[in-house]
Amino acid sequence: MDERKPKRESHAPYDDLDRHDVDIVVKAEQGKDASHFLVKTDEEGERASTVPGTSSSTGSSGIVRERRVPAKIEVVLPTLEEARRQNAARREAIHQRRQVPGSNSGDVKVDPEERYVLPPVAPIGDVGDDSVDRAEALRNAVEQMRNPDAKVKKEIQFSDEFLLGALGWEGINHRYPISLPKEIAEYGFSRLYISNLYGGSTQTTFPKISEDRVSFHGLGDWAFLTLEFNPHAPTRPGHSGLFFSPRRAWDGWHGTQRPLRTFVRLSESNWVYMGEYKFVPGISLTSDEWKKQKDKVRNTWVYGVHVSQWGTEVTLRVWFRKQRGADYEPSKEEFADAALQIGDIRKQVTLQDMLTAYDEGEEEIGTYKMTCVGYDEEFVRVLQRNAHLYISPLKNAKRKATGRKGLGSSSKRHAVGKSRTRMESDKDS
């Protein structure tokens, strides 16, 4: 085996957390499943590499065998103990720097010109409620919250006035300080890549991480939001946002119990780490507020609630009221039985039924106010620096299918390749 090791970049910080040496094995993770990452180098071409502590999704098919010697390349994640020790050291360094004027100990400083530049806070404090300038000031403040690269459909965005009522001026202008360069702070990742490193499903909004994984890296609370029906989620790291629910928000929801490590998908396969967010139950769209929204906005929302799994509970309530009267309250058993027939029930509930339920206040769109209360700079640095090593199973399967077809492989074999691609699709990642 080729014993040569790639040269380490001298300027890269946190080398103890981010190693790319060939044939290194992490002792703490020996005996656990490993995911195969495909990487390319000028000297070796494609290689299979190993990431400790992750589950394999490609199996042996992720290794290229044609006259190439595999090289093991790993991404070393900080353990829970290491993370706690480093966080404690960072807090102590910040405390010492505050106590001693001019001290530069502790965190590595970033040149002001390289820091993540946040948009200026809009001068809205002196704008009167009845001023013509108020609407313009609000519009400017809302625009400053948005990343121009985020793909958000206008037909699902609520009015600026509703955002003001939900977040307040303070919330709209809140920016958690971030000292990373913009190219790191706004770097977009594939969700499959994140899942391979830290665990959890790639399809759920709030994935549950296995106890073994959490005991190793200590990161158990995650949120992955899309903009399809969360159009006012944060799109700039450190900024405030709203998380929407098809029903009234309540403080018993698990997401309100502790800050969540939050990613938002700005476009396909482009998940950006926004920070550590606190979710607090907020206001709902009352019947009057709901009817103030544009028809296209209202129609888009009721359609989404009607056809989506996350809107099942609302659809069932509308159906029960339609079948048994406006005041009927189904039992838990009735609700559970009806949920098994949701496909047929959706056919019996029209979009007009759904729209009427919101128009008359029988149902409400609830919100959770999202406030950034922390930002793990070391976490996103490790992710960004290793992202180039990862090639998703989808791309690998497509490349193999194309290669086999070019070699005159049968249509049956090609169909198998297509099936594997479909199962491992990164569409939502």
Residues 39 and 158 in one domain: no
- Do 308 and 398 share a domain, yes or no? no
pTM of the predicted structure, to 2 decimals: 0.67
CB 223 within 8 A of CB 277: yes
Residue 137 has a pLDDT of 87
Is there a domain that residue 389 lies in? no
Q: Where are the alpha helices (DSSP H) in 64-220?
A: 80-99, 132-145, 160-172, 182-185, 191-198, 211-217
Per-residue tens of pLDDT for the chain, all 429 residues: 544 544 444 333 333 333 333 232 333 333 333 333 433 333 333 333 333 333 333 444 444 444 444 444 455 566 656 666 666 666 566 556 545 444 333 343 444 445 676 665 555 554 555 566 788 888 899 999 999 999 888 888 899 999 999 999 999 999 999 999 999 999 999 999 999 999 999 988 999 999 999 988 899 999 999 998 899 999 999 999 999 998 889 888 888 999 999 999 999 989 999 999 999 999 998 899 899 888 988 998 999 999 998 899 999 999 999 999 988 999 999 999 999 999 999 999 999 999 999 999 999 999 999 999 999 999 999 999 999 888 877 666 566 666 555 444 443 333 333 333 222 334 455
Residues 123 and 264 in one domain: yes
167 found inside a domain: yes
DSSP 371-410: EEEE--HHHHHHHHHHGGG---HHHHHHHHHHHHHHTT--
| Tally of domains within the chain | 5
325 is a domain residue: yes
- DSSP reduced 3-state for 10: coil
Residue 425 is predicted with a pLDDT of 33
Clarify whether residues 292 and 425 are in a common domain.
Answer: no
Cβ–Cβ under 8 Å, residues 108 and 13? yes
Measured CA distances, 21 to 3, 73, 74 (Å):
10, 6, 7
H helix intervals, 264-370: 287-292, 295-307, 312-324, 332-339, 342-348, 351-359
Within this chain, do residues 132 and 240 fall inside the same structural domain, yes or no? yes
Between CA 85 and CA 99 the distance in angstroms is 21
List the end-to-end C-alpha distance of the chain, in Å, as a whole number.
35
Q: Which of 244, 202, 262, 194 is nearest to 358 (CA)?
A: 244
Are 227 and 370 contained in the same domain? Answer: yes
**Same domain, yes or no: 211 and 162:** yes
Quick one: 356 and 324 in the same domain? yes
Q: How far apart are CA 173 and CA 169, in angstroms?
A: 6
Question: With contact defined as beta carbons under 8 Å apart, do 193 and 387 qualify?
Answer: yes
Burial of 24-59, coded b for 16+ CB within 10 Å and e otherwise, reads eebeebeeeebbbbbbeeeebebbbbbbbbbebbbe
**How far is it, in rounded angstroms, from Cα 154 to Cα 385?**
34
DSSP state of 57: S
Query: Is the same domain home to 256 and 343?
Result: no
Instruction: Tell the burial category of 61 from Cβ atoms under 10 Å away from its Cβ (0-12, 13-18, 19+).
Output: middle
User: Which residues 6+ apart lie within 8 Å of 154 measured at CB?
Assistant: none
Residues 270 and 414 in one domain: no
The verdict on 230 and 303 lying in the same domain is no
**Angle at the Cα of 160 from the Cα atoms of 240 and 187, rounded to 5 degrees:** 35
* Co-location of 265 and 319 in the same domain: no
| Cα–Cα nearest to 298, from 159, 104, 425, 156 | 156
What burial letters (b/e) apply to 102-136, b meaning 16+ CB within 10 Å?
Answer: eeeebeeeeeeeebbebeeebebeebeeeeeeeee
C-alpha distances in Å from residue 420, one per residue of 143, 277, 325, 361, 416: 42, 36, 48, 46, 6
Helix (H) or strand (E) holding 278: strand 270-285
Its domain, for residue 300, covers 288-363
